[in-house]
Amino acid sequence: MTSSPSSGTSQAWSALGADASLLDRVAYGGPSGGLPARLPVMELARATVAVCSLAAAELGSARTGRPVPRVSVDDESVATAFLSDRLVRVDGRAWSAFAPLSRFWRAADGWVRTHANYPHHRARLLTALGLPGDAGEEAVDAVAEVIAGRTALEVEATVYAAGGLAVAARGPEEWAGGEQGVLIAAQPLLSTARIGDAPGRVPGDAPLPCSGLRVLDLTRVLAGPVATRTLALLGADVLRIDAPQLPESQEAHNDTGMGKRSTTVDLADASARRVFEELLDQADVVVTGYRPGALDRFGLTPEALAGRRPGLVIAQLSAWGSVGPWHERRGFDSLVQAATGIADLEGSPDSPGALPAQALDHGTGYLLAAGVLRALTEQHRTGGTRLVRLALARTAHWLLHDLAPAPGEDDGFDAGRWLTERDSPMGRLRHALPPVSYEGGPANWARPPGLWGTDAPVWGGT
């Protein structure tokens, strides 16, 4: 292990508004060849896990009054965790994270990346392209033919107008010179703000940094669930809430549901909404991962939440940021990679490529957890309602422009050293161990994931 701080860790810790002197508590080691790429993906991974671990150690120290414990970041553990969605198994069975219509397509003048993992996104994509929304296996050939006859930007505009997901693959210079790229580059890696006065509500001494804290998890897919999975590891009572009409993949939940409970609540239904309001009245943290504005009609703007529940920590995650012409667009890691030029840089003359993991999702997830942990530390010290905001596109900018590869040992990577098995309601579950590590910290989640959406909408349930 070495205690020399990586530049990425220093940048992220500074963005969190934290005490730079604590960086000497972090040590790094382990084989670093698990995330090979042209871009400094391993540096992004180690930096985001490092600041998350250090923020957890700092919050624990604030609550106990003891010195901040030392943090260890093992590159092999980090890389394994960034691949967790690909390594999870139930009774030995793997799953594919991407559906057949979620891929790159050759357009008349370039490439288009689509995302159609969910049935409603698949149907919107097909309808936008003039195809039957319930088309079967023949849809792949039909989509390829339609896209091949149109420009990439035409496909992007048509599909997004129909509520689907498609982006034209751009080079990094093209994205950086466009309006959304310019605005994203001007934003901080993450923003933290005190948006209201309130007494400190984080209690004192506790066995884990987040013990006794309640987290409403209104996130989906990967980045947000990675963040709340980490808060669950650190002792929080995390309740994930989804709309019943937007089913989630159980296979994805097998990876990101560690330590949590999961329920469904229809916020448009009056009786269900009352249940949600009761949960909100007792929450300490609310994490949202929907596109900006999507939850506003339910009174879930930061301002409304701050007025209703002073002292709350509110964390918001989006794909494209909260400013600019793209800010209300839906998006996923793969689409952000394509739009920002990452896929271009990682590809070949024949086709765009991809990062070795959904690193924007995972990295932003650990940054999001770190932002919540730092907000809780500051709230413990001085009170206040706190707001944390992040965007996948801003993390992409960090990877493209600010990070540099850090030295490491590239030989001998073995993900198997950081995998474990346990019984779960779905069967025998193999999963990656958490990479967040500090002296005296938890080595694994207290509970495996359950069946998605089947828990009672109550705090402290079993």
SS3 assignment, position 170: coil
Distance CA 296, CA 83 (A): 33
Coil vs helix vs strand at 438: strand
Rounded distance between C-alpha atoms, residue 87 and residue 414, angstroms:
12
d(CA 237, CA 214) in angstroms, rounded, equals: 5
- Cα radius of gyration (the chain): 21
Strand 89-90, strand 104-106: pairing = unpaired
Which helix (H) or strand (E) is 23 found in, with range?
Answer: none
Cα separation, 102 vs 125, in Å, equals 10
Active-site residue (options: 141, 361, 410, 411): 361
Phi-psi region for residue 171, left (φ > 0), alpha (ψ -120 to 50) or beta? beta
Helical pair 119-128 and 152-161, crossing angle rounded to 10 deg: 120
- Tell me, yes or no, if 361 is annotated catalytic: yes
Whole-number Å distance between alpha carbons of 350 and 162: 30
CB 117, CB 102: distance < 8 Å? yes
Cβ within 8 Å of residue 47, ≥6 positions away: 6, 8, 9, 11, 12, 403
Which among 153, 92, 161, 168 has a CA at the least distance from the CA of 127? Answer: 161
Which of 435, 338, 400 has its CA nearest to residue 40? Answer: 400
Whole-angstrom CA distances from 390 to 27, 226, 294, 339, 433 are: 26, 14, 16, 18, 25
How far is Cα 155 from Cα 174, in angstroms, rounded to an integer? 17
Query: Alpha-carbon dihedral of residues 30, 35, 37, 40, nearest 10 degrees?
Result: -60
For 217, the 3-state DSSP assignment is: strand
**63: Cα within 13 Å, side-chain hemisphere:** 24
- Residue 315, classed as helix, strand or coil, is strand
Catalytic residues: 361
